[in-house]
Each structure stands twice: as C-alpha cells, then as structure tokens.
Structure 1
Amino acid sequence: MDDIVKQALAKWPNVPSCYGWLGLDARGQWYMRDDRVQAAGPFAGGTPASRGSVLRHEKLLEFIDRNYEADAHGQWFFQNGPQRVYVELEATPLIWRVNADFSIAAHTGRAARMQRCVLDEQGHLYLEADLGFGLVHTLDMGLAADAVEQGLWVPQEMAAHELPGRFGYVCSPAARQKSG
C-alpha cells in the first residue's frame, strides 16, 4: 500500500466504504460504474450498459493496482486514500498472465508462485498462487496449455459455482452488503 494512502487512513480512519463503483472483468480491466450504470444491473452477468466505462488513465491504473487487496471476508477492494472501494468481480479477484517460462504475474503486475491449477466444467483454467486465486487470461491459454501438456501444471476439476467458497472470495461485495 502506498505511504500516502497509509497517511490518509491514519488521518481519516472512519470514512465509509464505497460499493458497486469499481469492477474488474475477466481480462483484468478496471471499470468505473456510476449510479446510472449500477441501476442498469449487476457487473457480472449484466448487460453492456451495466458494465460501465473502462479505465484507461495509466497513473490511475497503477495506483489502483498498488492498493488492491482483500479484507478478512474475501471481499477485494481498492484503498483510495481513507476510503475502501469494494470491487465487483466478473470472474475472480486476480487475472493471471503467463510468461514464456511459465512463471505468472497478476493483472496488477505482481509476480506470484503458483500452487494449484483448477479447471472448471466450461474449460476455464484458474491458478491458486501465493497472492490469491485467479483466472488465466484468455490471451495466455496457449502457454497454459503447454504447461499442462508438459506436466508442469496438473489441473484439478472443480465446478465454477464452488470456486468463490472454496478459495474465499466474494464476487459482489455490493450484493453482500445489501443482504446484510
């Protein structure tokens, strides 16, 4: 976490959290979701109108990536100064990029060590790593397939609906907050 964020937290410790305003898609892109977009439906499984606007400002994206983490309940958030901005997930909290040597890095740019490989009933490939759980980016499936074929990664089959509970993440903190 950035030092300036830590200072803001110390100065204003009781700022209310924000829900529904930020989304992460299955390709690791961040989306801004204003009130109108949120009213159009959920981020995951919604319509194009309920997704919001893709964030493209490089410095803002770097700031979000550096200050992105999970709380004790498996809800992922971006610490924006003193305010937690909880993230709506299309798929998983991390999107993995695979390098030619089969090392991995999260969509945030942080390198990780893979611990387990999971395959769901739709053929989506996920990795559990020291940083958390995530989906392999679609552009890297060729490299991931090579790792599987070489026996470096051995996928365990698991139903997609079981993944959040099994790996401890919440896809919609906004829905969880509303339900109490």
Structure 2
Amino acid sequence: MDEQVLRSLIKWPNVPDCYGWLALDRRGQWRMVDEYAQQHHLPGKPIDHAALNEFISRNYANDTAGRYFFQNGPQRVFITLAATPWVVRIIPSESSVQMMTQCHNQMTPSGALSDEQGNIYIVGSTQQTVFQDTENQQFAVKEMPAVALLHDHDLDHFSELATLREAACSFVGSWTWSGQLLPLDPIHSDELSQRFGYIQHPAPL
C-alpha cells in the first residue's frame, strides 16, 4: 500500500465508497466499467495505462468480509471479480518456474482445482493486504491462503505437469510443482467464492 494513499485515508476517512466501476477479468486485467457498460452488462474497457495498472496493483486489498478493493487515495473502489481475486501466470526463469499473480506477487501452490468448464484454479498462499482496523484505518500485509484462476494461456503448460483422469463433471489427478506431487481435485465454479471466502460482486454491508 502506497504511503501517500495511507496518509490520504487518515486525512479524509469518510470519503464514500465506490461500487461497480472497476473489475478484474479472467486474464488478470483491470477494467474500467463506465455507466454505459454497467447499464448494458458489458465487461468494460481494459486499462492500458501502465502506471495506473501498477498503482491499482500496489493498492489492491481486501476486507474481513471478503470484498476486494482498490484504495484510490481516500476512496475505496470495490472490484467486481469475473472469477477469483487472483489470476496467476506460470513464469519461467533461468533457474526455476514461478507462479505470479496479476499484482506481481509470487504464489506458493499447495494444490489445484478443475471445474465443469475446464478451468484450473491454483490453491495456495500469496502476500495480501488486509484492511482490519476500521477505527484506526490500518492495513496489515500477510501471507494468506488464496485461490487463483490460472490464465488460459498457461493451460497447456499445466497439462504437461499433470496426470489427469475424468471425473463426473471435471478432472481429478495430480500435478508436479517444484519437485512436489500436488493434488488436482474437482469443484463446481459456483462453490468457489463460498469455499474460499470472497465476494465476486461487492455491495455495501
């Protein structure tokens, strides 16, 4: 969380929250959802400005209710999630392979899930910023459990790591990461948000 954002939040603590104007799509892109897009149920326009994307990523946080938001100075902009709060890519390097979220945080996987549409979700932990003290406007940065949609461009790479067999509505099996054999279990997409405690369409409490 940027220091200037924290200072502005303390200085102006009662700025109204914003809902519906910012979204995270299935490819980890931030999207601006203007009034026309909201009225016509459109996904909105991807934000192409590199500095703005970085600003959103640095100030991406969640509250204890499971709502994710962008702390834009003193204003909290709650984010509509197309799938999960995190989208990960498999990033190869010279010596290893990493999983990185849309906020450029490394994710440590402990398993994976496959849904009825063939999507793969990585289960593990990543560093997150949590708003936990409403009285003092305080955030904490923690390594926390997380679920992340695997970017569709990396599905082929994942399949090379996995041993699969068909189940009733999806796939089960195992996959290898950093020398460890990890489980791949089935899940229905409707179960994700409740199981992992996040809200796809935030609204005022």
Asked if these proteins are the same fold (TM beyond 0.5), I'd say yes
Q: Do structure 1's residue 141 and structure 2's residue 170 form an aligned pair?
A: no
* Structure 2 spans left out of the alignment, 5+ residues: 127-145, 164-173, 177-181
Indicate if the aligned counterparts of 2:175 and 2:184 stay in contact, CA closer than 8 A: no
Query: Offset of 1:16 from its aligned partner?
Result: 1.1
Provide the C-alpha distance between the structure 2 equivalents of 1:144 and 1:67, rounded to a whole number of angstroms: 30
Provide the C-alpha distance between the structure 1 equivalents of 2:29 and 2:191, rounded to a whole number of angstroms: 24
Provide the C-alpha distance between the structure 2 equivalents of 1:116 and 1:90, rounded to a whole number of angstroms: 21
What SS does structure 2 have at the residue aligned with 1:172?
coil
Provide the C-alpha distance between the structure 2 equivalents of 1:148 and 1:58, rounded to a whole number of angstroms: 34
- 2:45 counterpart (53, 56, 68): 53
Provide the C-alpha distance between the structure 2 equivalents of 1:92 and 1:77, rounded to a whole number of angstroms: 13
Indicate if the aligned counterparts of 2:85 and 2:147 stay in contact, CA closer than 8 A: yes
Match of 2:77 in 1: 85
Provide the C-alpha distance between the structure 1 equivalents of 2:71 and 2:161, rounded to a whole number of angstroms: 35
**1:8-23 equivalences in 2 (<5 Å):** 8-23=8-23
Provide the C-alpha distance between the structure 1 equivalents of 2:55 and 2:192, rounded to a whole number of angstroms: 28
Indicate if the aligned counterparts of 1:126 and 1:135 stay in contact, CA closer than 8 A: yes
What are the Cα deviations for residues 101-147 of structure 1, in whole angstroms up to 9, with x where unaligned? 44211011111211221111221100122122110001111221122
Q: Do structure 1's residue 116 and structure 2's residue 111 form an aligned pair?
A: yes
Provide the C-alpha distance between the structure 1 equivalents of 2:58 and 2:81, rounded to a whole number of angstroms: 18
Please identify runs of 4+ aligned residues in structure 1 that moved more than 2 A: 99-103
Provide the C-alpha distance between the structure 2 equivalents of 1:143 and 1:79, rounded to a whole number of angstroms: 34
Scaled by the length of structure 1, the TM-score of the pair is 0.88
Match of 2:189 in 1: 160
* Structure 1 spans left out of the alignment, 5+ residues: 42-49
**Structure holding more helix per residue:** 1
* Largest Rg, 1 or 2: 2
- 2:175 counterpart (143, 147, 151): 151
Provide the C-alpha distance between the structure 1 equivalents of 2:76 and 2:124, rounded to a whole number of angstroms: 24
What SS does structure 1 have at the residue aligned with 2:162?
helix
**Aligned-CA RMSD value:** 1.5
Indicate if the aligned counterparts of 1:97 and 1:106 stay in contact, CA closer than 8 A: yes
What are the Cα deviations for residues 6-59 of structure 1, in whole angstroms up to 9, with x where unaligned? 111111111111000001110011111122221112xxxxxxxx2221100000
Aligned length: 168
Provide the C-alpha distance between the structure 2 equivalents of 1:15 and 1:148, rounded to a whole number of angstroms: 48
Provide the C-alpha distance between the structure 1 equivalents of 2:5 and 2:155, rounded to a whole number of angstroms: 36
What SS does structure 1 have at the residue aligned with 2:175?
coil
Query: Offset of 1:86 from its aligned partner?
Result: 0.5
Match of 2:32 in 1: 32
Match of 1:45 in 2: none
Aligned-residue identity in percent: 38
Scaled by the length of structure 2, the TM-score of the pair is 0.77
Distance 1:52 1:161, change over 3 A: same
